[in-house]
Amino acid sequence: MAQADDGYGFGIEEEFFLADAGTRGTPRDSRVSAFHRELARLVPGAEREMMQSQVEISSPPATTLAEAAPVLAGLRAQVAEVARRHDLVVFAAGTHPMARWKRQQVTQATRYEQLLAELGLPGARNMVSGLHVHVAVPDPETRIDLMRRMLPFTPLLLALSASSPFWQQRATGLASYRLIANGEMPRTGLPDIFPDAAAYDRFVALMCETGAIKDASFLWWILRPSSKYPTLELRVADSCTRLDDGLAIAVFYRCLVRCLVRRPDLHAGFDTVARAVVAENLWRVQRHGLAATLIDPESRAMVPVAQLVRDALALVAEDAAALGHVADLEHVETILTGGTSADRQLAVAAKARHAGAGTPEILQAVVDWLAATTIEPPRLATGGTGGAAVR
């Protein structure tokens, strides 16, 4: 393997749901608090989310997938083992198939309580989980330009990650419902177009000085410059059930960042019309997943999303070689041919329905598949072995 480029360090954050091991619904009793207390003591790489039925893990900054993959695999296994001891299961998906938002309990923390008081009903309904990927750039001042020029690729990354076909115990008819549910929140979705970093800084300063937000971390766009790190943070992706899918999407995004830095001409003319096209393409991916056709501004035609993904892979071939991700990106083709988590969830549901199961049993079967698949050891950069569980 070629020597990896030592720039463009990256980190991966994954959000998960908890489910009752018996009912597969969201738990509300003291087991959840006991789970979080034990998790905090034994697994420092895991953190609570605003809702008690969710948890987040993250990898430390890395420069190779071989550094990040075993950490995330180990954390998944550890969280699942702690959950098992409390008669819970944990799984990765963009939405919880059996959750009812009215049954959710907010984590007792001042920040979350204040946030929920500010957001009202949209905050209480925000039962979604995502995959977030940070990639450092050589010059942080260029992140606003990179954010603008990265937007055309976001529908492709969402298509590969789609894992939220169910919402509030119902099939939505969509491959990825998460962004629609998240869209009830303010400052979500596509970022506005800022001409330069100075304009973005003026916007953030105005929002903070007027008290509209406390800081830039309250901008929850699908793509944003991190307020804590010199990174451009991808937030469009659903939480990936299979760790290999999340890892492949993360390195694909990393290669795209490097490509845009290397090619300042790429999407240089991105404007409000192009942004509107991205919005339409995001909707088409949410609805149809990998079966979607997207608007291609260059050919002025509808093009299958799989073809556009393969075109993007060809575009970043040089970057994949420089970053040491040529073999890692082969898994993107596996997603294209084998389907996403959403495809698998719908297949599990169809099989259960064909066997005569009712809605509760169908959704329980989906959660069972999600929980089992979440803890499968990855193959990328680990030799097929996962991390050890907490004992």
Average pLDDT over every residue of 195-199: 94
Q: How confident is the model at residue 101 (pLDDT cuts 50, 70, 90)?
A: low
10 has pLDDT over 70? yes
Compute the distance between CA of residue 340 and CA of residue 160 in angstroms, rounded to an integer: 6
**What pLDDT does 260 receive?**
98
Average pLDDT over every residue of 112-137: 81
Residue 236 phi/psi, 5° resolution? -80, -25
C-beta contacts of 276-284 below 8 A and 24+ residues apart:
277/152, 278/151, 278/152, 278/154, 278/155, 278/190, 279/189, 279/190, 281/152, 281/155, 282/154, 282/155, 282/158, 282/179, 282/190, 282/222, 282/236, 284/155
308 has pLDDT over 70? yes
**What pLDDT does 391 receive?**
28
pLDDT digits 0-9 by tens, 209-232? 999 999 999 999 999 999 889 999
Average pLDDT, the chain: 90
Contact criterion met (CB below 8 Å) for 10 and 134: yes
**What pLDDT does 269 receive?**
94
Q: How confident is the model at residue 386 (pLDDT cuts 50, 70, 90)?
A: very low
**What pLDDT does 383 receive?**
44
Q: How confident is the model at residue 108 (pLDDT cuts 50, 70, 90)?
A: low
1 has pLDDT over 50? no
pTM: 0.92
Q: Which residue has the tokens 């929920």?
A: 116
Compute the distance between CA of residue 349 and CA of residue 193 in angstroms, rounded to an integer: 40
pLDDT digits 0-9 by tens, 141-168? 999 999 999 999 999 999 999 999 999 9
Contact criterion met (CB below 8 Å) for 113 and 172: no
Structure-model confidence comparison of residues 14 and 382, the more confident one? 14
Per CATH, domain 10-374 is 3.30.590.20: yes
317 has pLDDT over 90? yes
pLDDT digits 0-9 by tens, 258-267? 999 999 999 9
